[in-house]
Amino acid sequence: MNMQTTSVMAPPAPKGMAEMKLPIVMMRDILLKTIFRKNVDTVTEVAEAICLPGAVTQELVDIAREQKLLEATGTLNANSGNEMGYQLTDAGKARALDALSQSEYFGAMPVPLDVYREQVKRQSIRNIQVTRDQLTGAMGHLVLPDSLLDHLGPAVSAGRSILMYGPPGNGKSSISNGIRDALGDNVYVPRAIEYAGQVITVYDPIVHTAIEQEADDPNSLRRRKRFDTRYVQCERPTVVTGGELSLSMLDLVYNPTARTYQAPLQMKSTGGIFIVDDLGRQQEPPQALINRWIVPLEENKDILGLQSGEKFEVPFDTLVIFSTNFHPNEIFDQAALRRIFFKIKIGGPVQEDFLKIFAMVARKRGMPLDEAALVHLLKVKYPTINNVYANYQPIFLIDQMISICEFEGIPYQMSPDLIDRAWANMFVKDEIIVN
């Protein structure tokens, strides 16, 4: 696939303590907790553990030494380029334990919220321009009318909200995934961010697909210029939720044991796509879910709350795709519909496109086409359902015929009889059951 990717500016690594913009006590405590928990003893090892450059880490180590919380071991570590080793003093261990009792967080130094905001701007989903070729390439496995791409293309390029609606089984989920594939480039996701002294973890390996980095060769004369490793370079994220989505899943998650927060789903999808599939199947009414999105969709910011009740703003930079089998007028009022920028109906295919899909699926499954079977399908079976075609039907019918052939021990084939047997499993008849 020929995908033109835009180059996202990487977050620059901090050059000194002044650029960190974090409370010094917080940084020092994370340093002590990390040394205590990870048992690292050289500046290089500590720098890797807290995801900071060596020079900044050395400044932190020097501060801890001045406060008699760290001491040099007096030994050079031969395995680490003859680096000086450091260890916690008794006061340092006591401080580390005290800090751990207040928050279990250690490891990567968090990124201040204001610094994170700047990176979100650099890699905004709204900076992306998706061309027709890119979208067509990403949707190559789908048979879609040109008119649908005419509507989808501007919607994706705008990076605003999209509502896809229409009868089930016509590929709304597949189209959502195709939109994700069309984005193509990478973003930088912070491991954790800091606000008001609180740590909020953002990077989630379940949601984010990290791009493998080449390891630096410590013996190389020229080391590669690296980005701020408090971030992880990832593909643009995609979060998919369905009937399980609840309003509480859009709030910060507080871990009372670790005394840290985890970012909600929409924050993890920053710079990417948030897909709400099967809208109308959730416990909360669709109107309530849309109401929760009104401020983010209109103002590109979300409002989250800490345990203390304090509210604060975070960037909202996500292409939200709502997908529903209901007609929008059934589940939303007009005020809610106004907030969704693009409404796109995903209908069933016309007969010509249905046949294209049928032939494509048959070829992939190794099922030979049979003219008599196709004539029977189109002239006898489909008139019984008013010739309403759906994209899922070719796959369903062909897979059913394959299962029958395998059971009967015959080569893959289609016939009017096999069409009838497959068709019988596609619909449930209304029957009166007499006790």
- pLDDT score for 429: 62
d(CA 190, CA 318): 16
Three-point CA angle 122, 127, 132, nearest 5° = 150
Same domain, 318 and 402: no
Listing DSSP states for 142-178 in one string gives: S---HHHHHHHHHHHHHT--EEEE-STTSSHHHHHHH
Same domain, 192 and 216: yes
Same domain, 267 and 414: no
- pLDDT score for 2: 38
Tell which wins on pLDDT, 222 or 284.
Answer: 284
Does 18 reside within a domain? no
The predicted-structure confidence for 408-434, as pLDDT tens digits, reads as follows 999 999 999 999 999 998 876 655 555
Question: Strand pairing partners for 261?
Answer: 200, 254
Does 16 reside within a domain? no
Using the predicted structure, report yes or no on whether residue 77 has a pLDDT greater than 60. Answer: no
Using the predicted structure, report yes or no on whether residue 219 has a pLDDT greater than 70. Answer: no
d(CA 242, CA 142): 22
- pLDDT score for 364: 92
d(CA 91, CA 178): 56
| Residues comprising the chain, all counted | 435
Average pLDDT over residues 348-364: 91
- pLDDT score for 221: 41
Using the predicted structure, report yes or no on whether residue 220 has a pLDDT greater than 60. Answer: no
- pLDDT score for 399: 95
Same domain, 119 and 102: no
Using the predicted structure, report yes or no on whether residue 435 has a pLDDT greater than 70. Answer: no
Using the predicted structure, report yes or no on whether residue 5 has a pLDDT greater than 50. Answer: no
User: Domain range holding 256?
Assistant: 114-345
Strand segments (E) across 296-353:
301-305, 311-315, 319-324, 342-345
Q: Which of 316, 345, 374 marks a domain boundary?
A: 345
Same domain, 333 and 249: yes
What is the signed CA dihedral for 320, 323, 329, 334, rounded to 10 degrees?
0
- Mean pLDDT is lowest, of 11-15, 207-211, 275-279, for 275-279
Helices and strands, counts by H and E, the chain: 16, 16
- pLDDT score for 294: 82
Using the predicted structure, report yes or no on whether residue 222 has a pLDDT greater than 60. Answer: no
Q: Is 428 left (phi over 0), alpha (psi -120 to 50) or beta?
A: beta
**3-state SS, residue 279:** coil
Using the predicted structure, report yes or no on whether residue 336 has a pLDDT greater than 70. Answer: yes
Do 313 and 357 form a contact (C-beta atoms < 8 A)?
Answer: no
| Residue from 78, 100, 149, 160 nearest 126 by CA | 160
Do 137 and 149 form a contact (C-beta atoms < 8 A)?
Answer: no
Average pLDDT over residues 246-273: 93
State what percent of residues in the chain have pLDDT above 70.
Answer: 92
Domain count, the chain: 3
- pLDDT score for 23: 94
Q: What is the CATH number for 337?
A: 3.40.50.300
Average pLDDT over residues 379-404: 93
Do 192 and 201 form a contact (C-beta atoms < 8 A)?
Answer: yes
Using the predicted structure, report yes or no on whether residue 4 has a pLDDT greater than 50. Answer: no
- pLDDT score for 230: 96
- pLDDT score for 417: 95
Using the predicted structure, report yes or no on whether residue 216 has a pLDDT greater than 80. Answer: no
Same domain, 73 and 37: yes
pTM for the whole thing?
0.81
Average pLDDT over residues 49-55: 95
Average pLDDT over residues 321-333: 86
Does 12 reside within a domain? no
Using the predicted structure, report yes or no on whether residue 82 has a pLDDT greater than 90. Answer: no
- pLDDT score for 267: 95
Same domain, 333 and 236: yes
Q: Which residue has the tokens 């009740």?
A: 309
Same domain, 288 and 337: yes
The predicted-structure confidence for 9-50, as pLDDT tens digits, reads as follows 899 999 999 899 999 999 999 999 999 999 998 999 999 999
Same domain, 218 and 363: no
Neighbour tally for 327: CB within 10 Å: 12
Same domain, 314 and 334: yes
Do 265 and 278 form a contact (C-beta atoms < 8 A)?
Answer: no
Q: What is the CATH number for 100?
A: 1.10.10.10
- pLDDT score for 409: 95
Same domain, 133 and 49: no
Q: Which of 321, 345, 369 marks a domain boundary?
A: 345
pLDDT band at 333 (very low <50, low <70, confident <90, very high): confident
The predicted-structure confidence for 155-205, as pLDDT tens digits, reads as follows 888 888 888 888 877 777 788 778 878 887 889 999 999 999 999 999 999
Using the predicted structure, report yes or no on whether residue 306 has a pLDDT greater than 80. Answer: yes
Q: Output the average pLDDT for the chain.
A: 87
Neighbour tally for 357: CB within 10 Å: 20
Question: Strand pairing partners for 148?
Answer: none
- pLDDT score for 265: 93
